[in-house]
Structure 1
Amino acid sequence: MIEVANRLHTVEEYYFSRKLREVNQMIASGKPVINLGIGSPDMQPPQKVVEAISGSLQDANAHKYQSYQGMPELREAMASFYREHFSVSLNPTSEILPLMGSKEGIMHISMAYLNEGDEVLIPNPGYPTYQSVTRLVGAEPVFYELDAANNWLPNIDELEKLDLSKVKLMWVNYPHMPTGAQPSEIAFRGLVDFGKRHNILIVNDNPYSFVLNDNPMSILNVEGAEDVCLELNSLSKTFNMAGWRVGMVLGNSTLISNILKVKSNMDSGMFYGIQKGAIEALKCSKMWYVTLNSVYKRRRDLIWKLADALNCTYDSEATGMFVWAKLPSHLKSEEFIDTILKNNNIFITPGTIFGSQGEGYIRFSLCATAEDIEECIARVK
């Protein structure tokens, strides 16, 4: 028997990879399961995006290796997008690196900056990939707790009490997944100052800014953020392009060039047609966002009714593609979702997959039709 690498002993198979096998087996056996668990957009990308990729397939360069840094036109489009929506000016040549999805960027950043034994501040609750990638590169997670009392924002005073001597990097994610909490200018300012005081790289993972949110924000808009901050973004949620795998990492030229050293040794550039489609997506008018959010608003209203039917509470001011709901106090997250899956054929995500602070919560995805959500309400009632 060939032994696996030690790093594999530090991680488990991704929750959704395991759980969706169970869900798919139920569906294959005839169970009418409705999936409210995963945030995979079910609507189409803008039509001009689909036309751009299909129209590009006969171009002379369409099937060649592409630049490790992406097409200049793509980086220009990303720079224009950040300038228009976040009032952040970036040099498209040196301060923007396109990615095959922002999840790829989590690994690239970690490989570029973390040594074995370095420590990483990771939100609890938070995206599970931060923890797994940290362990895969041999670094140590240090979890910082978020809670509803502080609007799921980092408590800088509590962070200052920690031994930060080995901390190299801090993951933040605003608008926050899974809770939908919004950042504030004061919170971002505090994070930048914290990073500077302790020489910690602050990385904001920012794919949810345009879903049910009227106030998109970037940590790079804070004065001085370029010294200690990177930002990840993605076209997956904003433009219904999750399967296309298009993301970006943004920051000062030195930080970006270090990430490029990793990336250029791991892939051979994004497919030409996908880049062409991404350029068109980033040029979308305000009407795209209005139309997208009108659909999500209707779905969210229905999810709130479903949460009410399950005796859950939720924050109606939260943003993003999910509804984070608190269970009645005597219920456990995983036991509850397993019961609902078995009895009602509805799959909901347990809050515990995002960390111990998720116990007692569940997360509903808005990536299901209004008709499916209405069916869920009927089943529960």
Structure 2
Amino acid sequence: MIEVAKRLQKVEEYYFSKKLKEVAFLKSQGKPIINLGIGSPDLEPPFKASMMLQDSLMEPEAHQYQSYQGLPELRDAIASFYNKHFQVHLSGQTEVLPLMGSKEGIMHISMAFLNKGDKVLIPNPGYPTYAAVTKLLEAKPVMYDLKADRNWEPDFGALERLDLSRVKIMWINYPHMPTGANATNKFYDKVIAFGKRHDILIVNDNPYSFILNDKPNSIMRYRDAKDVCLELNSLSKTFNMAGWRVGMLVGKYDFVNAVLRVKSNMDSGMFFGIQKGAIEALKCSDIWFKSLNSVYQRRRALVYKLAQALNCTYDDQATGMFVWAKLPPHIKSEEFTDLVLKEHSLFITPGTVFGSNGEGYVRFSLCAEEDLIEEAISRV
């Protein structure tokens, strides 16, 4: 009998991979499912990006292998984007690495810096992939608490009391998913100092900066950030290009080059046309962001009504493409979402998907047209 690797015993199939099978089955049985569980943008990418993708197909080099580091003009476009929107100065030649989506970056960073038995600080609640990748590499996840009463920021006093001797990476994610909390300037200063004090690589996963957020930010803006930090970013949410799989890693050369050494052994470069389209997207003016957010503002107002109809409360200062809502006392997240799916054919995400501190919460996605959200409200 051929057995799978032991590392697979430590991880389960991704929640949404499993749950969407159930949702698809219910749809096949005629259930009118409304999906407010997944953060997959349903709006169009920038027109010029799509046109450039199409036009690039006729270029002589369009269908050849591409550079492991991406087109030089894409790296420069990413550096210019960071300069314009975050006031961060990067070298497109040495401090930028395009990725096939930021999710692959989580794996590549982990492979570049973790040895078996190393420890990784992972937010609870937080993106489940951080822990899954850590386990796959036979490192040890160390969950750190994020709580509403601290604005979903870590307690550095509690972190300092941990045994940090084998901690190599700390994952942070602001604006935070799933809660939508924004980090303060003080937090960024603290986390950079924490990383320097303990020789921990701080990695900020930053794909939600421009969604319903008046003040996009990057950890790379802060003093000494390049000494201990990397940042992941993505075009998926900002430009409605999730299926294109375009992400980026930024940071100092030594860190970025270490990740490139992994990446160059795992793939053969991003498709030429996608890179050319990404360059056009990164050139979008502020009008793009205003237009995008006007849609999300209308949708969020409706989701607030839906949350209220379900007796949930929420923070109307949160940002991002989700609404993180607190359930009434003594109600379990997964029981609640299963009941809502059964009774209203409405799929929302239980907070426990993101960790134990998600118990008592649910997450609504804004990636659905207004008439669907209104239909959900009427059902409830």
Q: TM-score range by the shorter chain?
A: over 0.9
Cα distance in 2 for residues equivalent to 1:39 and 1:245: 14
State the match for 2:60 in structure 1.
Answer: 60
- In structure 1, the partner of 2:155 is 155
* Residue equivalent to 1:223: 223
- Equivalent residue number for residue 11 of structure 1: 11
Match of 1:342 in 2: 342
Give the drift of 1:321: 0.5
Aligned to 1:141, the other structure's residue is in SS state: strand
In structure 2, what residue type is equivalent to 1:351?
G
The secondary structure found in structure 2 opposite 1:24 is helix
In 1, the alpha carbon distance for the partners of 2:330 and 2:94 equals 53
Aligned length: 380
Q: CA deviation at 1:154?
A: 1.2
Q: Deviations over 1:122-176 (max 9, x none)?
A: 0000000000000001100000000000000111111111110110100000000
SS in 2 for 1:138: coil
Task: After TM superposition, list the pairs within 5 Å mapping 1:1-381 onto structure 2.
Answer: 1-380=1-380
d(CA) in 1 for partners of 2:330, 2:232? 38
CA root-mean-square deviation: 0.4
Runs of 5+ consecutive residues of structure 2 not aligned to the other structure: none
The 4+ residue runs of structure 1 with deviation greater than 6 A are none
The 2-side partners of 1:364 and 1:205 are apart by 20
SS of the equivalent of 1:107 reads: helix
C-alpha distance in 2, partners of 1:142/1:181? 21
CA–CA distance in structure 2, aligned partners of residues 146 and 360 of structure 1: 14
How far apart, CA to CA, are the structure 1 residues paired with 2:336 and 2:133? Answer: 29
- 1:51 Cα offset (Å): 0.2
Residue by residue, what CA displacement relative to the aligned partner does 1:226-271 show, whole Å, maximum 9, x if unpaired?
0000000000000000000000000000000100000000000000
* Residue type of the alignment partner of 1:209: S
TM-score norm. by structure 1 comes to 0.99
CA distance, structure 2, for counterparts of residue 31 and residue 351 of structure 1: 24
Out of 101-110 and 158-167, give the one that drifted further.
Answer: 158-167
1:66-123 alpha-carbon deviations (Å, 9 max, x no partner): 0000000000000000000000000110100000000000000000000000000000
Paired residue type of 2:41: P
Residue aligned with 1:273, SS: helix
For residue 233 of structure 2, give the secondary structure of its aligned residue in structure 1: strand
**Post-superposition shift, 1:218?**
0.5
Aligned to 2:131, the other structure's residue is in SS state helix
Q: In structure 2, what is the Cα distance between the partners aligned to 1:196 and 1:308?
A: 44
Question: TM-score, length-normalised on structure 2?
Answer: 1.00
Post-superposition offset of 1:330: 1.7
Separation (CA, whole Å) in 2 of partners of 1:147 and 1:154:
8
Q: State the distance in 1 between where 2:22 and 2:203 align.
A: 34
Q: Distance in 1 between matches of 2:264 and 2:298?
A: 43
In the aligned structure 2, how far is the partner of 1:252 from the partner of 1:376? Answer: 47
1:354 is displaced (CA, Å) by 0.2
Distance in 1 (alpha carbons) for counterparts of 2:155 and 2:109: 24
Secondary structure of the corresponding residue to residue 211 of structure 2: coil
